[in-house]
Structures are given as C-alpha cells and as structure tokens.
Amino acid sequence: MSDREFTGADDLSLPKATVQKIITEILQPSPGVTFAKDARDLLIDCCVEFITLISSEANEIAEKEAKKTIATEHIDKALRELGFPEYVQEVLASAGEHKEALKTREKKTNKMDQSGLSEAELLRQQEELFKSATEKYNQGPA
C-alpha cells in the first residue's frame, strides 16, 4: 500500500477543534502571538500526511510478516525505517499509557444491569407489557 493511494485532500482530515486545542496546550501563551487559521490548516495537512506515511509503511511491514493486524511493533519499525527513531520512545510510552487507561476505565453497563432487577423479574415485566399492549390493540380504537 502506497502513501499516495488516497484520491484527494478532502478524503482525510483531523478535527480542527482538536488540533486547535493541541496547539493551544503546546504553545506557551505569548501576548500578541496567535496561530493563523491557514497555518492550522497546513499543520493538519502535514499531520495527515505524516500519519498516512507511517501507517502505509507499518502496513507494508505487517504484510511482509504475513500479519493481518498492524501492531505497535510495526509502527516502531516504520518510524525507524523512515528516519524517525527519535519518536519511537515517546510513541511506545503513549501506547503503554493508552493500554493502561483502557484497563482502568469504567466498563459500560447496560440497562439490564442498571435496573437492579433480576432477569426473571425483567422478563415478567416484559410479559406484562406485551399482554397489556395486546389487550389495547384487540380493543380497537376508543
């Protein structure tokens, strides 16, 4: 897969608000200094190009290894092979932090768990609702 397989610039982008937030958090506030919208848009284009380049290289590495999933080690190798070894340590650290965050985040609960009722009680209530709805339907319009 080549990094040029995408047909146009409109196919891929990053959320402008997110990029603006990153810019604001990274840049030290300086009186009278702002980040122009066209500069932000250029930065977004550069980021998309960088991500495309790295992911394409990682995909080629994964394919050579007969893997169907691009893994962290493929990103590591891609960064090194493309001449960005200085990013590897920070990228791996971020990947580790993300993995830990996934382990500790609250699992979503479904409505059944939130109700506090047993499955049998929920089934009984459902049957009552069906019975009530059937009776209303059979009575016809009022």
Write out pLDDT tens, residues 52-109.
999 999 999 999 999 999 999 999 999 999 999 999 999 999 999 998 888 877 666 6
d(CA 79, CA 133): 61
d(CA 94, CA 136): 58
d(CA 76, CA 54): 9
pTM of the complete model: 0.62
pLDDT at residue 2, as a whole number? 43
d(CA 73, CA 61): 10
Average pLDDT in the chain = 86
On the 0-12 / 13-18 / 19+ scale of CB atoms within 10 A, 101 is: exposed
